[in-house]
Amino acid sequence: MIEQHLSLLLVVIPLIAAPVTAMLPGRRLPWLFTLSVTWVCLLLASWQLSVVMNGSVISYELGGWAPPWGIEYRIDAMNALVAFIVAAIAAVTLPYALRSVEKEIPEYQTSLFYAAILLCLVGLLGIVQTGDVFNLFVFLEISSLSSYVLIAMGKQRRALTAAYQYLIMGTIGATFLLIGIGLIYAETGTLNMLDLNQRLQPIMEHRTVHTGFAFIVVGIALKLALFPLHLWLPNAYTYSPSVISVFLAATATKVAVYIMLRMVFTVFSSSLVVLTSYMFLVLGIVGVILPSISAIFQTDAKRLLAYSSIAQISYMVLGMGFASVLGLTATLVHVFNHALMKGALFMAIGAIVYRVGSSRLENFQGLGRQMPWTFSAILIAGLSLIGIPGTAGFISKWYLVLAALEQQSWLITGVILLGSLLAVIYVWKIVEIMFFRPVPETVIEVREAPASLLIPTWVLVSANLFFGFNTELTVDVAGTAVRLLGVTAP
Amino acid sequence: MIDIIFGHYNYWIVVVLMMAGFYTVISRGNLIKKIAGINIFQTSVFLLYISIGYVEKGTAPIIAEGYTVYSNPLPHVLILTAIVVGVATTALGLALVVRIKEAYGTIEEDEIHDQDMSL
Amino acid sequence: MKHNLILRLIAKFLFPVIALFAFYVQFHGDYGPGGGFQAGVILSVAFIFYALVYGLKTTEEILPPHVLRLLASSGVLIYAGTGVVSLLMGENFLDYDPLSSEPAAGQHLGILVIELGVGITVSSVMLMIFYAFAGRGQP
């Protein structure tokens, strides 16, 4: 019975758990409950992934209404892969949350904080599971609204302005998406993704469809923090509580990449892909270089990583720009691997914030010797970010370079390598300050971070190493997913 | 020409409201005015959906004797959901503005920016 | 507001009328225009009106914030719980058919219960928002 309702339970369990969490008292109880829910979700997500890994498709009709009239949850390898990433990151973040949240969130807000995390999880999983574009919009807003709240929980007052800025830009993005959905609904009279695909084919040249497409792409690009629409991202990641930085950096933008892939390749496909291709390539090239350069000049570790995130997102966008099998595989693999490395990096920085109380680089001096485990986590995840062979980051860069070479695009190959070079500089900046600077004499002794923070960090770090050798899960599943997307270009 | 202007008047209303709202969001530095702009912007989209659902000479989609043509209820339902989302966004935005006012003592964007930079 | 006799009287008169209208909209939702969203907002308007005239403190004594939080959560649980019940009956999530002996009656019952959950959540959330804004800056 569970297998039949698998894809639905993945969304409904956290949905039911969220209001329950909001009613639980104290600090430990809401945490323990949320933790168990996320682990159940991870279990269901891996089960779902194992079912669709071979290329089969799960279809679930909500309320017993057959598609295309009712809402359909339609799971293929791509949905399952992204759902697995989201659930896995949530399951790894929650053990980390206990100590970190105790320090950063007042007790009377704790249960609501965990409820908001669960709602955010509901939204992200719902986006991934659903096969209905309006349902997708609703889940997008659920995840966005809860992430605005979570970001505003940051300790500094700038968290408030960051959340406000994100709220304004995020709402504009979501409303653009809504306009686009409305326009294509007016043309076709359906909201089901597959049905839309078929009904849009004969009328692809209509101006309404083009307008709707433009609104949808720009709307998602805002959520995706695609350069130059990334302005909300650095502040949002910098000032939010450590746990939220980890969770959002590793999931939110990845899910937005998924929406973009779904919309462009499943809903519209065919002739309109060409229109976005050039845009994605140009924005990807600029977006790899400029944010990487900005990252080098940052004085705050979290902000540095946020800019690096924008650059990494641009890699995924480059892969979409190729619109080829290899390019999209690279995008999906990078979605997976980037979640691992950014998750690990933000966790390690969060562990330092836990001990030092600040994420400014000037306070990091000499910490490498006092917090060796945290430091080596940053080092390895940083190497993965650069793309050193043996780490997960190398795999995605490798496929991206292959995709670029396949199209004989030397410029883009050069840009990818330059991006890695710039990554060397900003990762070195953190390493140099932490390891080679002497400890300032005014600073009191700093101890290594507690185990409850270190273990989740190291789980992600080892995942970085594991997926650097074992590409079965990432590359094969991504390949199946791309095949199901129906990309025809080589 | 006349047909373009009057035949599609619902779209003109939507376009004007949309641009007015969007311009307000972009140009105003006052945080509450920005939220008002967002609201106008969203409302224009609601109108777009509802006018799409209208069927000529159609009545409200409730079965009654003597009526055979009904408006399409689906856009109404969709927009009901979007309105609720809009209310939640507005409430959250205003709550953030209240807390920003408490933390900074102002709700003007440039003054907040100055305070952040002077640190 | 202590001395505004007319206002206080009208508020007392209007409160049950608004609340009754809210319930009408709520339980008429399966036949005509109406439903949980609208009814929830109308019901919360009754309380907000009361709070405007009699003060926030009096209203909070009638409906304390922690009760509202429980109500808001339980509304969502009613909604999701209905779906789970249909799951346990062997149908898909939110399929109301098995809720009663006949599918049509099941659909009626299902939508009423769902809208009840929506109504409870919407009215308590609207009131919570009002409390949060009105109570800000007060001891």
List CB contacts (< 8 A) between B93 and chain A.
164, 167-168, 171
- A2-41 in b/e burial notation, b at 16+ Cβ within 10 A? eeebbbbbbbbbbbbbbbbbbbbeebeebbebbbebbebb
Backbone angles phi, psi at A438, to 5 degrees: -70, 155
* CA distance, residue B111 to nearest chain C CA (Å): 22
Tokens 């070479």, located at residue: A405
Binned at pLDDT 50, 70 and 90, residue C123 comes out as very high
Residues of C in contact with B91 (CB under 8 A): 129
Q: How many H-runs (helices) and E-runs (strands) does chain C carry? A: 5, 0
Please enumerate, as own/partner, the contacts of A97-102 that have beta carbons within 8 Å and a separation of 24 or more: A97/A31, A97/A34, A97/A243, A98/A28, A98/A31, A98/A452, A99/A354, A99/A450, A99/A452, A99/A453, A100/A241, A100/A242, A100/A243, A100/A350, A100/A354, A100/A453, A101/A27, A101/A31, A101/A241, A101/A243, A102/A27
Based on C-alpha coordinates, what's the Rg of chain B?
20
Residue A73 three-state SS: strand
Query: Would you say residue A278 lies in a domain?
Result: yes
Using one digit for the tens of pLDDT, what is the confidence trace for A234-269? 999 999 999 999 999 999 999 999 999 999 888 887
Give the amino acid at A79.
Answer: N
Decide if A126 contacts A11 (C-beta within 8 A): yes
The count of domains in chain B is 1
Nearest to A234 by CA among A419, A359, A83: A359
Write the burial class of residue B6 (CB in 10 Å: 0-12 exposed, 13-18 middle, 19+ buried).
Answer: exposed
Q: Do C81 and A16 touch (CB under 8 A)?
A: yes
pLDDT tier at A107 (50, 70, 90 boundaries)?
confident
What are chain A's partners, defined as 3 or more CB pairs within 8 angstroms?
Answer: B, C
* Residue A22 within a domain: no
- Nearest residue of B to residue A155 by CA position? B103
State the residue range of the domain holding B15. 2-117
The alpha-carbon gap from C32 to the nearest alpha carbon of chain B, in Å, equals 7
C128 in contact with A, Cβ within 8 Å: no
Say what the pLDDT of residue C139 is: 54
What pLDDT, on the 0 to 100 scale, is given for residue A484? 83
B48 touches chain A (CB under 8 A): yes
Residues A189-235 pLDDT 10s? 888 888 888 888 888 888 889 999 999 999 999 999 888 888 899 99
Does residue C115 contact residue C35 with C-beta atoms inside 8 Å? yes
Q: Is residue A52 part of a domain?
A: no
Per the structure, the complete domain to which residue A424 belongs is given by 271-490
Report the candidate in A270, A252, A166 with the shortest Cα–Cα distance to residue A210: A270
- Mean pLDDT, chain C, whole residue set: 87
Residues counted in chain B: 119
The structure tokens 């839309």 sit at: A196
Virtual torsion, Cα A399, A405, A407, A408, nearest 10 deg: 170
The answer to whether A168 contacts chain B (CB < 8 Å) is yes
Q: How high is the pLDDT of residue A276?
A: 82
pLDDT in tens, B36-95: 999 999 999 999 998 888 887 878 777 777 788 888 888 888 898 899 999 999 999 999
Q: How far is A332 from chain B (nearest CA, A)?
A: 30
Question: Hey, which residues does C18 pair with through a beta bridge?
Answer: none
Contact A224, A311 (CB under 8 A): no
Any bridge partners for residue A360, and if so which? A300
pTM check: above 0.90: yes
Q: What is the CATH number of the domain that holds B106?
A: 1.10.287.3510
- A301's enclosing H/E stretch is helix A301-322
Distance CA A297, CA B96 (A): 30
Residue of C25, C48, C124, C136 for testing the chain B interface, max B β-carbons within 10 Å = C136
A490, pLDDT greater than 70: no
pLDDT digits (tens, 9 = 90+) for A114-160: 999 999 999 999 999 998 999 999 999 999 999 999 999 988 888 99
* Contact at CB, C92 and A12, closer than 8 angstroms: no
Mean pLDDT of chain A: 88
Q: What percentage of residues in chain A have a pLDDT greater than 70?
A: 98
Interchain pair B62, C32: CB under 8 A: yes
| List of chain A residues whose C-beta atoms are within 8 Å of the C-beta of residue C95 | 63-64
- Unique residue bearing structure tokens 């920085």: A349
Rounded to 5 degrees, φ, ψ at A47 are: -60, -50
The answer to whether C79 contacts chain A (CB < 8 Å) is no
B54: tokens are 């209208």
Query: Is A167 close to B22, i.e. CB distance below 8 A?
Result: no
Helices (H), A70-132: 77-104, 110-129
